[in-house]
Structure 1
Amino acid sequence: MLKEFKEFIARGNVIDLAVGIIIGAAFTAIVNSLVTDLINPIIGLLTGGTDFSGHYFVLKGDVPDGASLQTARDSGASVFAYGAFLSAIINFLIIAWAVFLLVKAVNRIQRSVSQKREAEQQAAPAGPSQEELLVQIRDELRASRA
């Protein structure tokens, strides 16, 4: 069983997946910071200086007026945190846009590399075919025997 586990882990797919998950986690932290620290303040500025992610309303329970979302949650009240949900949507859209740009760039690079390879192959002078080389070898062997 241990041997099978080692073979499983040694496969390229598993290692690629692990690297993807680690990079994804780091990327998520960057995007969360981008949304929380840069985009939400701009949206707040455009909407009159309010913190967008802290918007909520109380469904059930007692929460003092003007309490933060965290305070409302800590009090045990049932809150409808639409601002946090909208922030999550913004996070998703930013991540999706960044992944789109990344895939687009990788595709452009791959196209460029494949076009360069094709150009090099077309520019290379065509050498003799395999049959022509074999005929030359045969003729040289005949000539050396004679």
Structure 2
Amino acid sequence: MSTEKRSILAGFREFLMRGNVIELAVAVVVGAAFTNIVNAVVKGVINPLVGAMGSQNLDHYQSCLTATCQKDPKTGAFSDGIYILWGSVLSSALTFLITAAVVYFLMILPMNKWKERQAARKQVDAGPLAPTEVELLTEIRDALIAQRIPAPSTPSAASGSIGTQKTHE
């Protein structure tokens, strides 16, 4: 195998092992499993509640756009004409809204609250920040300058004046 193929495969492996790709794959699998639960709730609970005004299956709600729409008496199916199946659209919209609400209230909202608590805890735990390297070097420089230049002192009565000693001859 040439080094170019190895680098391409290594790059592909690195891409797959990134956290984003793994998290996305997990989200897709969980979402697919979750879809079955939501569909069952919509078909078993929501559709009958909405359908209490008529058919319990929302897929039966439809409108005909042409005057030629007729129901076959033997099969009960509609034949001829152009139909708008607005019941199935309503069912899909309800499924979407329920899915979005469950994801938000059971996953997103608790995760955001947890992240806020973690951020607040991190700020408390951090305390005062250590001085940076530049700040430390500035303090050292200032201390060295202060040692080099003698500070002015005030003469006391017992010591006399500084720098003016009388010599006895």
Given the two structures, how large is their TM-score scaled by the length of structure 2? 0.56
Shift of 1:100: 2.4
Shift of 1:50: 3.7
1:52 matched to 2:71? The reply is: no
1:19 matched to 2:26? The reply is: yes
CA contact (8 A) 1:40 1:53 kept: no
5+ residue gaps, structure 1, are 132-146
The one-character-per-residue Cα deviations of 1:22-64 (angstroms, maximum 9, x if unpaired) are 111112222111111111112222x256432321234577642
Letter in 2 for 1:37: G
Q: Which has the higher contact order (CA 8 A, sep 6+)?
A: 1
- Percent identity between matched residues is 30
Shift of 1:66: 9.5
CA gap of 1:50–1:37, structure 2 versus 1, over 3 A, is closer
Which range is displaced more, 97-106 or 33-42?
97-106
Separation in structure 1 between the aligned mates of residue 32 and residue 103 of structure 2, nearest angstrom? 14
Give the secondary structure class of the aligned counterpart of 2:72. coil
2:42 to 35, 51, 55: 35
Structure 2 counterparts to residues 82-101 of structure 1, below 5 A: 82-101=86-105
1:105 matched to 2:110? The reply is: yes
5+ residue gaps, structure 2, are 137-169
| Deviating 4+ runs (over 6 angstroms) | 128-131
Letter in 2 for 1:100: Y
1:64 matched to 2:34? The reply is: no
**Highest Rg: 1 or 2?**
2
Letter in 2 for 1:8: F
Shift of 1:129: 7.2
Give the secondary structure class of the aligned counterpart of 2:83. strand
Separation in structure 2 between the aligned mates of residue 41 and residue 107 of structure 1, nearest angstrom? 34
Report the counterpart of residue 13 of structure 2 in structure 1.
Answer: 6
Letter in 1 for 2:93: I
CA gap of 1:48–1:103, structure 2 versus 1, over 3 A, is same
Given the two structures, how large is their TM-score scaled by the length of structure 1? 0.64
